[in-house]
Amino acid sequence: MTVPLVDPHGRTVRDLRISVTDRCNFRCTYCMPEEGMQWMAREEILTFEEIERVARVCVERFGFTSLRLTGGEPTVRAHLPVLVEKLAALGADLALTTNGSTLALVAADLRRAGLDRINISCDSLRRDRFLAITKRDRLEAVLEGIDAALATGFSPVKVNVVLQRGVNDDELIDFARFGREKGVGIRFIEWMPLDAQQAWQRAIVVPSEEVLEVLDREFGIEALDQRGSQPAERYRYRDGRGEVGVIASVTRSFCSTCDRIRLTSDGQLRACLFATGEADLRSVLRAGGDDDALAAAIEAEVGTKWAGHDIGAVTFTRPARSMSQIGG
Ligand code: SAM
Ligand code: SF4
């Protein structure tokens, strides 16, 4: 029997974000430092069987409907399609967020293994700028990855763009055109204070409101349905040429409808991106804990879910982990 997992603020939790590795082949400036990241040791990382057990308890006991694979960069984890196959068998909607740089090599295997959807991150369509942001000259590979996702039949394919003032905000319209031409949904994301270098400044965040004004002026857009528990606010182009979205994590926090929890690659369960505490599911798993013990630990952590984050307030505390270790 499934029993919905309801947090202290009345929100039903249904979405598990699973970071499958803390490693990454990129070094995006807004996410991790160019040098000096300390990767976790292999034995600290959950095995596929351990990840599957946590996901199974979430789906079978608590009725989770959504599993999202992320990282670090999930495609650098060896044999990712094997994990996808295990998780797809659970029957929840299964999606992947990737930087896309090796997607052309694995898209077909992931599809065959049962992956439902792909989100690809790309923050510039200009080669020199892409290199400056990611510290890798891999724009072409990412564009090939987007093409491969489309050719393999993933639908929808979404492209996530983190906008930063003075860095890539002048590419807003280029990205929108790119999305319209390719048939991919662009989602413009506000930069959050989760970069390992702690360089975040509010002045560099490009407010979603401004993005929507520019898009409306240039193309004409109208709001689609209410977003429910999804962080993206969705719009359609009035001429019928596709969709576009914004994720206003900073200026219009969507905490009040948050339905997700996060499992780090070393098996710590986080009730919020900005949580300062975690539940050590790896210890439960490795001490031979049964599904009841796992379920109890998950339930207890969901019981700590905050009403919302307080970015910008004096009380705001940055979590010790950076975005690359939490998974976005
Ligand atoms: N490596 C994969 C990727 O880049 O898509 C998955 C992990 S990444 C941490 C997940 C998402 O978080 C990406 O879309 C990335 O752009 C976004 N992201 C990373 N740091 C961020 C930050 N400080 N604020 C907002 N989004 C961020
Ligand atoms: Fe890697 Fe993704 Fe972070 Fe970029 S955003 S450094 S690709 S984990």
Residue 188, ligand 1, Cβ within 6 A: no
Pocket of ligand 2 (CB under 6 A): 24, 26-28, 31-32, 71-73, 99, 121, 324
Q: Which ligand is nearest to the CA of 328?
A: 1
Residue 163 and residue 188 in contact, taking contact as beta carbons nearer than 8 Å:
yes
- Tell me the C-alpha to C-alpha distance, in Å, between residue 117 and each of 23, 93, 97, 192, 246: 22, 8, 9, 24, 18
Domains of the chain, earliest start first: 5-157+256-326 (3.20.20.70)
Residues 6+ apart with CB under 8 A from 315: none
pTM: 0.94
- Kindly give the distance from the C-alpha atom of residue 32 to the centroid of ligand 2, in angstroms, as a whole number: 7
- What is the whole-number distance in angstroms between the Cα of residue 276 and the centre of ligand 1? 19
**CA 83 – CA 104 distance, rounded (Å):** 18
> What confidence score (pLDDT) does residue 30 get?
87
Please tell me the distance between residue 37's alpha carbon and the centre of ligand 2 in angstroms: 12
- What three-state secondary structure class fits 66? strand
Q: Which of 20, 29, 97 to mutate to test the pocket of ligand 1 (most atoms within 8 A of CB)?
A: 97
- pLDDT score for 193: 83
Ligand 1: which of 323, 324, 325 to mutate, most ligand atoms within 8 Å of CB? Answer: 323
281 lines ligand 1 (CB under 6 A): no
Ligand 1, atom 17, lies closest to the CA of 328
Nearest CA to 253 out of 212, 311, 173, 313 is that of 311
Amino acid at 138: R
pLDDT, one tens digit per residue, over 188-231 is: 999 988 777 788 889 999 999 999 999 999 999 999 976 667 78
Residue 217: its H or E element: helix 208-218
Residues of the chain with pLDDT under 70: 226-228, 309-318, 321, 327
Q: What is the rounded distance in angstroms from the CA atom of residue 199 to the CA atom of residue 29?
A: 9
Q: Which residue has the tokens 């280029």?
A: 174
Contacts 24+ apart (CB under 8 A), 288-293: 291/53, 291/56, 291/57, 291/61
